[in-house]
Amino acid sequence: MRNSKLCDILLILCATILSSRVAKAANKKVDFKVHCDNTTMMVKLKTSGDIKNIYLENLQHYPEPDCHPKKLKGHSTFKLPLDEMYWCGGMAILNTINGKRTFIYHIIVEKQDNSTEKLSAQCVVPGQKLKIHKRAVLPAGFQEQEFENLDIESVENKAPEPVLNVGVRQGDRRINGELNVNPGSQLTMEINLDPVSAPIYGLLVSYMQVSDTKNLEETIVYNGCSVDPFLFENFNTLDGDALNAKFRAFKFPDSNYVQFKGTVNVCLDKCRGVECSNNQIGYGRKRREIRKMMNDPNKVFEITLSTFITSLVEGRSRC
């Protein structure tokens, strides 16, 4: 009787220890190191038996070999470009106050228990502080528009570096890279700030281009305004720190991949809108004529980014 109880206790202890080890393995963060030079980011990740797959965000099945890791026993290594960030869906953040540049790639790690971990690999290039020159004497008849003076040192020392989240949504479902839709299906592109940055900054899409990742490309937002609303509608915002634009599903003739490449201004509080058609003030709205976009005195960061979707649409091509 005592032996039976002892066996039961031992079994419970063994099960508890095993369960604890499994939980620790599942919660264990992936160990990775980043090495940077002038043109390349090298990311080396330690791998173990609980890791099922490693790939760049939205590029799990992307056919370009340079955007996938080289896998060896015990580790996987990415070699990613810094001079051609669009190539593999990277993001570059320019601090317009001090010239610092931050390059970011997001890596997805899938584990055997079907959980995922998102890693942010970064390279930082320090910059020189930009000198601000103010004209001492204005030309006759020239009136300079007045803006609130920015406390440059306060911005540089206290404000966080913004992080953008870019994605495409079909209805209520967020698309993770791959998409199967019917021709003309309504989609929405979303660009928003992280929760820490959202109360501090605002956004404006100054430029966006769509490409088949090969030879074909078309500008869809220029100087803050949509060029072709049939292809890509106006960017809209309610609070300035989240933008969205509706568009209809399409594909290029010789590629299932559609890449969006853009430049986003990040401003203190809110970006100054662009005057578009019908005298609308927009953050990526269409206008009748293309004029040079005015510099925004509150602009503190400029972010270049790209995102991919796999559009398996038949019967509707973009030529």
Pairwise CA distance, residues 181 & 127, whole Å: 44
Over residues 187-194, mean pLDDT: 93
Q: For the whole prediction, is pTM greater than 0.95?
A: no
* DSSP result, 238-302: SSSSEEEEEEE--BBTTBSEEEEEEEEEEEES-PPPEE-GGG-EESS---SS--PPPPPTTEEEE
158 and 245 part of one domain: yes
169 and 220 part of one domain: yes
- What Rg value do the Cα atoms of the chain yield, rounded? 24
Pairwise CA distance, residues 312 & 260, whole Å: 16
**Per-residue pLDDT, 150:** 46
Over residues 186-196, mean pLDDT: 92
CA end-to-end span of the chain: 81
Pairwise CA distance, residues 116 & 90, whole Å: 20
**Per-residue pLDDT, 319:** 40
Q: Is residue 221 part of a domain?
A: yes
Using the predicted structure, report yes or no on whether residue 280 has a pLDDT greater than 80. Answer: no
Closest by CA to 66, choosing from 52, 55, 51, 53, is: 55
Q: Is residue 5 part of a domain?
A: no
pLDDT digits (tens, 9 = 90+) for 103-118: 999 999 999 998 999 9
Query: What are the beta bridge partners of residue 236?
Result: 244
**Per-residue pLDDT, 79:** 97
117 and 173 part of one domain: no
Confidence of residue 88 (pLDDT cuts 50, 70, 90): very high
Using the predicted structure, report yes or no on whether residue 101 has a pLDDT greater than 90. Answer: yes
- Which residue type sits at 123? C
Closest by CA to 213, choosing from 64, 54, 313, 78, is: 64
191 and 307 part of one domain: yes
82 and 160 part of one domain: no
User: In terms of DSSP H, where are the helices of 56-113?
Assistant: none
Over residues 258-270, mean pLDDT: 91
Using the predicted structure, report yes or no on whether residue 314 has a pLDDT greater than 70. Answer: no
Q: Is residue 45 part of a domain?
A: yes
Q: Is residue 42 part of a domain?
A: yes
**Could you tell me the two tokens for 275?**
């005057």
Q: Mapping DSSP to helix (H, G, I), strand (E, B) and coil, where does residue 158 land?
A: helix
On average, the pLDDT of the chain sits at: 77
Q: Is residue 203 part of a domain?
A: yes
Q: Is residue 70 part of a domain?
A: yes
Distances (CA, A) of 22 to 26, 54, 126, 153: 6, 21, 42, 48
Using the predicted structure, report yes or no on whether residue 266 has a pLDDT greater than 80. Answer: yes
User: In terms of DSSP H, where are the helices of the chain?
Assistant: 2-27, 152-158
pLDDT digits (tens, 9 = 90+) for 31-61: 999 999 989 999 999 998 889 999 999 899 8
Give the residue numbers spanning the domain of 184: 153-311
* More reliable by pLDDT, 229 or 1: 229
